[in-house]
Structure 1
Amino acid sequence: MKLLSHIRSRTRLKVIDDTKSATRHSPESTFSSSWAATPNPTAKFPPVLLEQLLSYVCPHSRDDTYISCEESMVDGGCMLCDMRDLSQCALVNRQWSNAAENLLYHNVRIDAVHYCDREDELAEKRRQPSFMGRGNSSDYPRDTAQQRLQLFSRAVRDNISLANRVQFLKTPYMTREGCMADLARTVSVLRNLRYVDLPDGFYSDEPLSNILKQEVQQCADIKYMKYTGGAESNFQVLGHSRHWRNLEALELSHLAIEPSTILEVCTTLTALREVKLAHLAMLDDSVFGPSMNGSLPPLAKLTLQDIPNISVDGLVSYLSQRDAKETLKTLIIENTGILPSELHRILASAPYLTRLDIIESVARSLPSSALPPLASRSLRTIHYEISDANNSPRGLQTPSDSYYAYLSSSILKGSLPSLSNLYALSSTLPVLLVPPTRLSGNRIGNVPAPLVTGITRPLNVHTKTISEMEWDLTLVLPPTSLNQRPSATNMGPMGLNSPALSPHWRDKGRDSVIVGNGFGGFLTVPTEETWSESPKGKKKGRQDSGAWMG
Structure 2
Amino acid sequence: MKLLSHIRSRSRLKGTDDIKSKNHRSPETTPSSSWATPNPTARFPPALLEELLSCVCPHSQDDTYVSCEESMVDGGCMLCDMRDLSQCALVNRQWSNAAQNLLYHNVRIDAVHYCDREDELAEKRRRPSLIHRGNSSDYLRDPAQQRLQFFSRTVRDNASLANRVQFLKTSYMTREGCMADLARTVSVLRNLRYVDLPDGVYSDEPSSNTLKKEVQKCADIRYMKYTGGAESNFQMLAHSRHWRNLEALELSHLEVESTTILEVRATLTALCEVRLANMAMLDDSIFGPSINGSLPPLTKLTLQDIPNISADGLISYLSQREAKETLKFLAIKNTGILTSEFHQILASAPYLTRLDIIESVSRGLPSSALPSLASRSLRTLHYEISDANSSPRGLQAPSDSYYAYLSSSVLNGSLPSLSNLYALSAKLPVLLVPPPRLSGNRTGNVPAPLISGITRPLNVHTKTISEMEWNLTLIMPPTSLNRRLSAMNMGPMSLNSPALSPHWRDKGRDSVIVGNGFGGFLAVPTKETWPGSAKGKKKGRQDSDAWMG
TM over 0.5: yes
Contact 1:527–1:545 under 8 Å retained in 2: no
Q: 1:384 to 1:444 in 2, by over 3 A?
A: farther
Residue number in structure 1 paired with 2:3: none
Kept in 1, the 8 Å contact 2:276–2:302? The answer is yes
Whole-Å separation in 2 of the counterparts to 1:324 and 1:25 = 52
Amino acid at match of 2:345: I
**Corresponding residue SS for 1:140:** helix
Distance 2:482 2:377 in 1: 27
CA distance in 2, matches of 1:523, 1:341: 44
Query: C-alpha separation between the residues in 2 aligned to 1:448 and 1:545?
Result: 42
Matches of 1:25 and 1:41, distance apart in 2: 15
Alpha-carbon distance, 1:480 to partner: 2.4
Higher alpha-carbon deviation: 23-32 or 64-73:
23-32
AA paired with 2:249?
A: L
Cα 1:230–1:419 change in 2 (3 A) is same
Structure 1 residues 110 and 448, CA gap change in structure 2 (3 angstroms) = closer
Q: Distance in 2 between matches of 1:126 and 1:452?
A: 59
1: CA distance between counterparts of 2:436 and 2:523? 24
SS at match of 2:271: coil
TM-score by length of 2: 0.84
Instruction: Find 1:514's aligned residue among 509, 512, 535.
Output: 512
1:29 to 17, 21, 36: 17
Contact 1:492/1:522 (<8 A) preserved: no
> In 2, Cα distance between the equivalents of 1:167 and 1:148?
18
CA displacement, residues 505-534 of structure 1 (integer Å, 9 cap, x when unaligned)? xxxxxx9852325999999866469xxxxx
Residue correspondence of structure 1 range 163-174 to structure 2 within 5 A: 163-174=162-173
Query: Which residue is 2:494 aligned to?
Result: 490
* Preserved contact between residue 299 and residue 329 of structure 2 (Cα < 8 Å): yes
Alignment of 1:182-261 (within 5 A): 182-261=181-260
Determine if contact 2:497/2:511 at 8 Å carries over to the other structure.
no
**CA gap 1:512/1:77 in 2 versus in 1, 3 angstroms:** farther
Corresponding residue for 1:281?
280
Please state whether the residue corresponding to 2:479 is helix, strand or coil.
Answer: coil
Q: Does the residue aligned with 1:514 lie in a helix, a strand or coil?
A: coil
Q: Aligned pair in 2 of structure 1 residues 480, 97: CA closer, same or farther (>3 Å)?
A: same
Measured after TM superposition, the shift of residue 38 of structure 1 is 1.3
Q: Do structure 1's residue 138 and structure 2's residue 137 form an aligned pair?
A: yes
| Alpha-carbon shift at residue 395 of structure 1 (Å) | 3.5
What amino acid does structure 2 have at the position aligned with 1:101?
Q
Distance in 2 of aligned mates of 1:522 and 1:201: 55
Show the counterpart of 1:317: 316
CA contact (8 A) 2:13 2:88 kept: no
1:443 CA drift (Å): 12
Offset of 1:389 from its aligned partner?
Answer: 1.0
Following superposition of structure 1 onto structure 2, how do residues 43-442 of structure 1 map, counting pairs within 5 Å?
43-130=42-129, 133=132, 137-390=136-389, 395-436=394-435
Aligned-partner SS, 2:251: strand
The answer on whether the counterparts of 2:265 and 2:295 sit within 8 Å (CA) in structure 1 is yes
The one-letter code matched in structure 2 to 1:192 is N
Inter-partner Cα distance in structure 2 for 1:314 and 1:25: 60
Q: What amino acid sits opposite 1:515 in the alignment?
A: I
CA contact (8 A) 1:78 1:114 kept: yes
The one-letter code sitting in structure 1 at the alignment partner of 2:17 is: S
Which SS does the other structure have where 2:138 is aligned? coil
Distance 2:318 2:233 in 1: 29
Distance apart, 1:133 and its partner CA: 3.0
Aligned residue type for 1:221:
D
SS in 1 for 2:180: helix
Does the residue aligned with 2:472 lie in a helix, a strand or coil?
A: strand
Moved more, 139-148 or 404-413: 139-148
Partner Cα separation in structure 2 for residue 133 and residue 397 of structure 1: 67
In structure 2, runs of 5+ residues without a counterpart are 1-10, 21-25, 31-35, 499-508, 538-549
For residue 491 of structure 1, what is the amino acid of its counterpart?
A: L
- Judged with a 3 Å threshold, the aligned counterparts in structure 2 of structure 1 residues 195 and 31 are, in CA distance, closer, same or farther, namely farther
Q: How many residue pairs are counted as aligned between the two chains?
A: 496
- CA distance 1:451–1:44, shift in 2 (3 Å): same
Q: Secondary structure at the match of 2:140?
A: coil
SS at match of 1:336: coil
Q: How far, CA to CA, are the matches of 2:340 and 2:134 in structure 1? A: 62
- TM-score normalised to the size of structure 1? 0.84
SS at match of 2:352: coil
* CA separation of 1:300 and 1:134: change in aligned 2, threshold 3 A: farther
